[in-house]
């Protein structure tokens, strides 16, 4: 797998330190609130697993699978819900946990969808923000790292379902995905 990597952007230790920092901030912000973590599958599962262990509060977790990529490297702009929540979010403080945000179209759709279900609040937490690609204004409450407009993999992020298990964030060589 490492032969496919162009360069490592964020080392494992850096990731874990940032996750601990985000967990502490979320703990502070949501004390005495009914917190529901919504993990966006599949990419955010590794991040959310680490993150919830750093949140020192009672919380619930649920999962959604949404797609706007298919097998492409760029969003199609068409969002599909592949797996919806199993629980009601009415009156709860919802924190969407995402692996990466680039154009923002998928998250904007998800935010509107969840807000229509009557939660007390809906916020976003992402480990990576590719702000150069943003085409829509999004209010992201918790951001781990900003990354350049390159194709990144690792720590849950994939290309064709591979590379998710890398313990760091890396740039994939162009010849792999072109």
Q: Which residues form the catalytic set? A: 102
Cα gap 148→131, rounded to integer Å? 8
Give which of 90, 91, 95 is closest to 59, Cα–Cα: 95
**Strands (DSSP E) found in the chain:** 5-10, 35-41, 60-67, 80-83, 93-101, 121-129, 142-146, 152-153, 169-172
Q: Which residues pair with 163 in a beta bridge?
A: none
Tokens of 30: 């949501």
Which tokens is 80 given? 């599909």
Measured in whole angstroms, how far is the alpha carbon of residue 99 from the centre of its chain? 3
């Amino acid at each position: 797998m490492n032969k496919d990597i162009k360069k490592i952007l964020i080392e494992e230790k850096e990731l874990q330190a940032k996750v601990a920092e985000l967990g502490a901030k979320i703990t502070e912000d949501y004390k005495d609130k009914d917190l529901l973590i919504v993990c966006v599958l599949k990419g955010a599962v590794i991040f959310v697993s680490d993150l919830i262990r750093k949140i020192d509060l009672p919380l619930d977790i649920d999962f959604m699978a949404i797609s706007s990529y298919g097998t492409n490297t760029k969003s199609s702009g068409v969002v599909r819900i592949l797996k919806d929540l199993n629980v009601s979010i009415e009156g709860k403080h919802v924190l969407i946990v995402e692996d990466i945000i680039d154009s923002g179209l998928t998250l904007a759709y998800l935010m509107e969808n969840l807000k229509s279900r009557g939660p007390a609040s809906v916020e976003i937490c992402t480990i990576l923000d590719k702000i150069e690609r943003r085409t829509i204004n999004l209010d992201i409450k918790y951001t781990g790292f900003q990354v350049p407009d390159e194709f990144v993999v690792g720590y849950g992020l994939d290309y064709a379902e591979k590379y998710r298990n890398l313990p760091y964030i890396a740039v994939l060589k162009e010849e792999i995905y072109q």
